[in-house]
Structure 1
Amino acid sequence: MARYAEPGVTEWVESGGGPLVAVPEVVLPFWTGADGDDLSSDYDRACDINGSIGLLPVGDTRALVLGDEPASTAFLPDHGTFVRWYAANSEDELLAGVPTALDTALWEPEVEWRVPGPLVVFDAAWPGDGSQRTDHLRVELEPGRYGVCAAYVSAGPETWLGLVRLRRLTA
């Protein structure tokens, strides 16, 4: 995991150039990455996602693809949001802009995602059972239904970030 500040404060995950994917831990062995046997690998399917987010079937659930750009990404549990680092002079500058960005974001349409529990975020090219050997991030989520939406926000003249919000749905 990439760290830009004190260890344990904010952990970031990066890809080798393709999209990141958030796969529920219970179906990690079913994510084949770029090694798929079919005409189209899981990695190919992830690359085919147009836009900031998309959901792909994996096992008996779905994985969340963080598309658009291969940006360094962190999960901020206090905000229930993935933050994607597009441009900033420092991590402190980027993170300081998050509250305002959340308040002013123009959110894309929300999709519903049923999450069976904790997630592992990693480069979509890796197979799920190999994700622990590469740059990855574990995200603790309670099982349930979530509304997921994304936004691209300028938090300052030289600070640009992506947001992917996970909102727990109750009804």
Structure 2
Amino acid sequence: MARCADAVVPDVVRWVESAAGPLIAVPEAVLPFWAGADGDETSSDHDRACDLPGHAGLLPVGDTLALVLGGEPAATAYLPEHGLFVRRCAAGDEPRLLSEARLIAEVPAALDDAVWEPALEWRVPGPLVLFDAARSGRAATATDHARVELAPGRYGVGAGYVPRGPWAGLRLVRVGPPAG
């Protein structure tokens, strides 16, 4: 399921996975500043990402912020048509997940059923790279990653989950216009 996003192929959803911790979406402009699990400090960048509460949080990287997708490790894809990170989690005792095609087709209904946390405001300098937070930014594009095209600007970030139904194994993180 995990694929690298070196080539852009229309209509192909790229899923990124983590070995054990959170995923992070770092603006390309500051990728070299993300040290991952390495570092000379007592707390690595990866440790800082793991310490963020909730399913979505913002963390300083360089002179901007990166989006941490926390909670349990989950295969994650960005769906630009919805401005949404979709995270496939195990649904309780049910190990079977929806097929990728059905999951994508069911996203609009899942959005209607989702329970949303309060939104954060995020100023984005441009495109992002989504990858395992344990990796360094310098190594991110040499491993499992996805490039997320976002125009520079202000965005609202809201995390949600679907409490029931066939989408109960989904965590959602919406990136869109900021609230009022």
Give TM-score, length-normalised by structure 1.
0.91
The answer to whether residue 144 in structure 2 is matched with residue 141 in structure 1 is no
Is the CA contact 2:154–2:177 (under 8 Å) kept in the aligned structure 1? yes
Alignment partners' CA distance in 2, 1:160 and 1:46: 22
1:103 to 112, 117, 122: 112
Is the CA contact 1:89–1:159 (under 8 Å) kept in the aligned structure 2? no
**Cα displacement (A) at 1:104:** 2.1
Q: State the match for 1:17 in structure 2.
A: 20
**Cα displacement (A) at 1:158:** 6.8
Say what the alpha-carbon RMSD is for the aligned residues: 1.8
**Cα displacement (A) at 1:154:** 4.7
SS of 2:37 mapped into structure 1:
helix
Q: Structure 2: give runs of 5+ residues left out of the alignment.
A: 4-8, 91-96
Is the CA contact 2:24–2:68 (under 8 Å) kept in the aligned structure 1? yes
Is the CA contact 1:101–1:154 (under 8 Å) kept in the aligned structure 2? no
SS of 2:115 mapped into structure 1:
coil
Q: State the match for 2:6 in structure 1.
A: none
Alignment partners' CA distance in 2, 1:21 and 1:157: 26
Q: State the match for 1:60 in structure 2.
A: 63
Q: Which moved more, 1:95-104 or 1:133-142?
A: 95-104
**Over residues 12-47 of structure 1, what are the superposed CA-to-partner deviations in whole Å (9 max), with x where a residue is unaligned?**
000111100000000000000001211110000001
Is the CA contact 2:156–2:179 (under 8 Å) kept in the aligned structure 1? no
Counterpart residue type for residue 115 of structure 1: V
Give TM-score, length-normalised by structure 2.
0.87
**Over residues 76-104 of structure 1, what are the superposed CA-to-partner deviations in whole Å (9 max), with x where a residue is unaligned?**
00000000011423112322221011122
Is the CA contact 2:98–2:166 (under 8 Å) kept in the aligned structure 1? no
Is the CA contact 2:161–2:168 (under 8 Å) kept in the aligned structure 1? no
SS of 1:34 mapped into structure 2:
coil
**Cα displacement (A) at 1:129:** 0.6
Q: State the match for 1:32 in structure 2.
A: 35
Is the CA contact 1:93–1:159 (under 8 Å) kept in the aligned structure 2? no
Q: Which of the pair is proportionally richer in strand? A: 1
The answer to whether residue 52 in structure 2 is matched with residue 49 in structure 1 is yes
Q: Structure 1 98/155 Cα, relative in aligned 2: closer, same or farther at 3 Å?
A: farther
Q: State the match for 1:77 in structure 2.
A: 80
Alignment partners' CA distance in 1, 2:64 and 2:13: 28
Q: State the match for 2:2 in structure 1.
A: 2
Alignment partners' CA distance in 1, 2:51 and 2:153: 27
Q: State the match for 1:90 in structure 2.
A: 99
Alignment partners' CA distance in 1, 2:135 and 2:53: 20
Question: Number of paired residues?
Answer: 168
**Cα displacement (A) at 1:49:** 1.1
Q: Structure 1 31/158 Cα, relative in aligned 2: closer, same or farther at 3 Å?
A: closer
